[in-house]
Amino acid sequence: MITLNLPILLSAISGCLLQLVQGQAAGYAQCGGPEYTGPTTCVAGYSCKVQNPFYSQCVPSSEIVSSVKSSATLVTSARSSSVSSKPVSAAPTTSPSGTSGVKCTGTFSPISASSFVAALNPGWNLGNTLDAIPDETSWGNPAVVAATFDDIKAQGFKSVRLPVTWAYHFAGAVNTGTSPDWTIQPTWLQRVSDVIDMITARGLYVIVNVHHDSWIWADVTQENANYTMIEEKFYRIWYQAAQKLACKSSLVAFEPINEPPVNTAADGARINTFNELFLRAINAVGGFNAQRVVTLVGGAEDSVKTSQWFVRPNASYTNPWAIQYHYYSPYDYVFSAWGKTTWGSAADKAALETDIALIRSNFTDVPLLIGEWAISPVQTEPAARWRYWDFLIRTAAKYNTATIYWDNGNDNYNRNTRVWRDKTAADILISAAKGASNSLPDGTTDASASEQSSSAYVWLRKGEAAAAQSVPFLLNGNTFKSVSDGAAVLKLGSDYTVSGSNITFSAAYLAPFATDTAGIKANLTITFSAGAPLALQIVSWAPPTLSSSSSKAIAGSDLVIHVTYNGIHKPATVRALKADGTYLVDDWTVYLPVLQQARTTFGSQWRWDWNQESVTITSSAVDAVIAGGQSVQFMIEAWPRVSGNNVNYTLTV
């Protein structure tokens, strides 16, 4: 039974519209609006309903009648779905007097989905913030400030995807909410609205969604999932959000739900139901929502599952729509798993292109956007990373697909210092999105190589005399323009020479850096006739060392190994071998190339964070050591990945 705790604005139901009129407009067709000149009555069984001041629509009379008859009746959607059990949702309830839908005073400039998607490209995600649990700052990010969006815009991004988790922001039972109203705290609705305004005030497009709710309470793959509850709650969240945001401009789009879990075709069908309930809710509210762009989703926002199971929305909805999917592939490279630190072979590129081409070939007439992708500067090697950033943006563009970078606050843009941690990557992205050709650093792309080279660096082995060094680039049609060290432009001829696509630094230029102290000796910037400038660091390096090289495993505790990095201050990989020579995890990596065997996975077995003079072995890896019943040698590899650039730590049981 419905209890109205808050005044709920209702979809318009005026008395005259309740009449059934033998009419001309088809079910779900338009039947009214200021610019509208067609029939204003509907075919039998449908009634003309004012969705907003600009748009009236023929909807099943049964829906209107039942909601008018009883504000305490849950109305079953007449037109969802492909799933066997009908979604039941708390349809907009009505007050006895029947107030009308949200009326907006401003103007709305309609925009097509294809124009919206083109205009938002490229975009940036305000990750781990309004989606954090339980609150905005819970995952380490500062509260959102408008200056962030000044910087995002100045860098050249055109849009912000704004992930929002609604769980933990309900009235009453804050974490879970309360059936049937699922009332959201007004302060949270206001916060979301205010952040949207910060973004749109700068002329940036924004996509707002329902985010981690997808696994917190809306996971349809759970055994015993209460679909009635899930659909009711989902509808009510969108109803309230759409009501609060009903009069936002056409810069604002909605995305029903982030990465909803799916395993089967039946789950996939339930995601189609989410899309349907979402469209139904936002249209029931009124305001400008019937004209608002939406980015619909398939299972997990995965391109393959979307291709398999996505069903187009009922054509009666007037919302311009696109499909959003997410792209984190290949898994091993993206997530720094199993020592995969190279990227950019012909096979790597072909695999990425195939993925993007496949979903495009399935949806030739639908605007597509990749709403999340990332290769984080935290733990990936720059030359491979920059090639990936360039190739992804360029390949997406080739298939008329927009992209929105996932930035969790710890990845690239530092919201505290307002500095891009990897400005080169951000510049490459913007330049590629504009269609300019970027020159890129060369480096090992063959994962089966025994060492990894990188033209993001000039490596000087500490203590050795400097010799001239050639650094190859992928010019991609450009020519070298200049090399500078921040203070001065290097001299062509004496400091360096150019030969084909190589820059060769002279022994004389490098000599002063070949000192007895390891570290970054110079930060160079290389410019080209077109495209983004590239960073290149001159680094004196030696293998890392430890102050203590062994300890006893403590169950359930992370192990922080203090490391003196002599060069680049971060680990490349961590290998874990048991005393008997078998692997701590993932035995099958024995079949991988030599630089990947027995290597563990970032986040699962080890972590590193900015400015951390250590590496953290996770508690789950420590527990695996204990479970294995024998000591384990953790080999911490540093950059560059060459023979001998490592140090060993033994964890005993």
Ligand X SMILES: *[C@@H]1O[C@H](CO)[C@@H](O)[C@H](O)[C@H]1NC(C)=O
Coil/strand/helix, residue 320: coil
Cross-strand partners of 599: 575
Binding site for ligand X (CB under 6 A): 27-28, 78-79, 179, 226, 228-229, 232, 307, 314-316, 358, 362, 470, 472, 499-500, 502, 520-523, 543, 577, 633, 635, 646-648
Q: Please state whether beta strands 632-638 and 646-652 pair in parallel, antiparallel, or not at all (unpaired).
A: antiparallel
> Between 144 and 539, whose beta carbon lies closer to ligand X?
539
- Minimum CB separation of residue 513 from ligand X in Å reads 9
Q: Which residues pair with 290 in a beta bridge?
A: none
In terms of CB distance, is 228 or 476 closer to ligand X? 228
- Contacts with 249 (C-beta within 8 Å, 6 or more apart), sequence order: 106, 108, 109, 200, 288
DSSP 442: -
* C-alpha span between 40 and 162 (Å, rounded): 38
Residue nearer to ligand X on the CB measure, 245 or 514 = 514
Provide, rounded to whole angstroms, the least separation between the CB of residue 499 and ligand X: 4
- 99 or 179, CB closer to ligand X? 179
Q: What is the nearest approach in angstroms of ligand X to the Cβ of residue 88?
A: 8
3 state SS of 275:
helix
Instruction: List the Cα angle 415/418/422 in 5-degree steps.
Output: 95
**Smallest gap from residue 194 Cβ to ligand X (A):** 30
CA–CA dist 194, 292 (Å, integer): 19
CB of 569 to ligand X, least distance (A): 9
Complex with ligand X: residue 447 or 638, whichever CB lies closer = 638
Quote the CA–CA distance of 646 and 566 in Å, as a whole number: 11
Strand runs (DSSP E) across 40-110, as ranges?
A: 46-52, 55-60, 75-76, 88-89
Given a contact cutoff of 8 angstroms between Cβ atoms, the answer to whether 164 and 130 are in contact is yes
CB of 179 to ligand X, least distance (A): 3
d(CA 559, CA 653): 13
The DSSP output letter for 75 is E
CB nearer to ligand X: pick between 49 and 191: 49
The least CB distance from residue 570 to ligand X, in Å, is: 11
Which amino acid, 618? T
Question: Closer to ligand X at the Cβ: 162 or 218?
Answer: 218
Judge if the upstream peptide bond of residue 533 is cis by omega within 30 degrees of 0: no
CB of 61 to ligand X, least distance (A): 12
CA R_g for the chain: 28
Q: How far apart are CA 286 and CA 51, in angstroms?
A: 5
> Please, what is the minimum distance in Å from the beta carbon of residue 515 to ligand X?
12
Neighbours of 514 (CB within 10 A): 18
Nearer to ligand X, 436 or 520 (CB): 520
Dihedrals φ, ψ of 206, to 5°?
A: -145, 140
For the bound state, the minimum distance from the C-beta of residue 78 to ligand X, rounded and expressed in Å, comes to: 5
Q: Which is nearer to ligand X, 162 or 538 (CB)?
A: 538
CB 622 within 8 A of CB 553: yes
**Residue least distant from ligand X (Cβ):** 79
Q: Considering the complex, state which of residue 149 and residue 321 has its C-beta at the smaller distance from ligand X.
A: 321
Nearer to ligand X, 436 or 642 (CB): 642
3-state secondary structure of 241: helix
How far CA 111 is from CA of 115, 120, 201, in Å, comes to: 6, 12, 18
Q: How far is the CB of 535 from ligand X (least distance, A)?
A: 8
